[in-house]
Amino acid sequence: MPTPFDRQSAFSGTGEADIPLAALESYLQRGLEGFDGPLSARKFKGGQSNPTYRLTTPTVSYVLRRKPSGALLPSAHAIEREHRVILALHGRGFPVARPLLLCEDPSIIGSSFYMMEHMEGRIFWEPWAPGLSGEERRALFASLNGTIAKLHNFDPAALGLSDFGKAGNYVGRQVKRWSEQYRASETEIIPEMGRLIEWLPGAAPADAMQSVVHGDFRLDNVIVHPAEPRVIAVLDWELSTLGDPLADFTYHLMSWFMPKLADGFGIGSLLGHETEAGIPALQDYIAEYCRLTNRSGIADLDMYLAFNFFRLAAILQGIAGRVRDGTATNRHALDMAKQVKPLAETAWRFAERAGA
Is residue 2 in some structural domain? no
User: Is residue 177 classed as helix, strand or coil in its secondary structure?
Assistant: helix
Q: How far apart are CA 72 and CA 35, in angstroms?
A: 31
Same domain, 211 and 86: no
CATH number at residue 44: 3.30.200.20
Is residue 124 in some structural domain? no
Same domain, 106 and 138: no
pLDDT of residue 83: 96
Is residue 189 in some structural domain? yes
CATH number at residue 168: 3.90.1200.10
C-alpha closest to that of 302 among 349, 235, 270, 345: 349
Please compute the mean of the pLDDT values over residues 13-41 and round it to a whole number.
91
Residue that wins the pLDDT comparison between 16 and 40: 40
Number of domains in the chain: 2
Please compute the mean of the pLDDT values over residues 240-251 and round it to a whole number.
96
- E-strand ranges in the chain read 14-15, 40-44, 52-56, 61-66, 99-103, 113-117, 211-213, 222-224, 231-234, 241-243
- Quick one: pLDDT band at residue 1, thresholds 50, 70, 90? very low
Same domain, 112 and 141: no
User: Is residue 105 classed as helix, strand or coil in its secondary structure?
Assistant: coil
pLDDT one-digit tens code per residue, 52-62: 999 999 999 99
- Quick one: pLDDT band at residue 202, thresholds 50, 70, 90? very high
Task: Count the Cβ atoms, other than its own, within 10 Å of residue 296.
Answer: 7
Is residue 127 in some structural domain? no
Q: How far apart are CA 172 and CA 181, in angstroms?
A: 14
Is residue 122 in some structural domain? no
> For 122, which DSSP code?
B
Same domain, 79 and 138: no
Is residue 129 in some structural domain? no
User: For the packed helices 245-252 and 301-325, what is the interaxial angle rounded to 10 degrees?
Assistant: 70
Whole-Å CA distances, 91 to 98, 165, 203: 9, 20, 37
The DSSP secondary structure of 37-104, one letter per residue, reads ---EEEEES--SSS-EEEEE-SS-EEEEEEPPSS---TT-S-HHHHHHHHHHHHTTT-S-PPEEEEE-
Of the candidate ranges 176-180, 337-341, 345-349, the one whose mean pLDDT is the lowest: 337-341
Is residue 203 in some structural domain? yes
Q: Is the pTM of this model over 0.85?
A: yes
Same domain, 216 and 325: yes
- 250 neighbors 146 (Cβ within 8 angstroms): no
* Residues of the chain by 3-state class (helix, strand, coil), percent to 5: 40, 10, 45
Please compute the mean of the pLDDT values over residues 97-115 and round it to a whole number.
94
Same domain, 108 and 226: no
- Quick one: pLDDT band at residue 261, thresholds 50, 70, 90? confident
pLDDT of residue 58: 94
Q: How far apart are CA 271 and CA 296, in angstroms?
A: 27
Q: Name the domain boundary from 59, 85, 117.
A: 117
Same domain, 97 and 244: no
Same domain, 345 and 196: yes
Q: Name the domain boundary from 117, 143, 168.
A: 117
Same domain, 155 and 97: no
pLDDT one-digit tens code per residue, 92-103: 999 999 999 999
Same domain, 86 and 227: no
Same domain, 79 and 140: no
Q: Residue 176 contacts by C-beta under 8 Å, 6 or more apart in sequence?
A: 201
Q: Name the domain boundary from 87, 117, 147.
A: 117
- Quick one: pLDDT band at residue 143, thresholds 50, 70, 90? very high
Q: How far apart are CA 176 and CA 327, in angstroms?
A: 24
Q: How far apart are CA 323 and CA 236, in angstroms?
A: 21
Same domain, 248 and 207: yes
Is residue 128 in some structural domain? no
Structural domain range at position 39 = 7-117
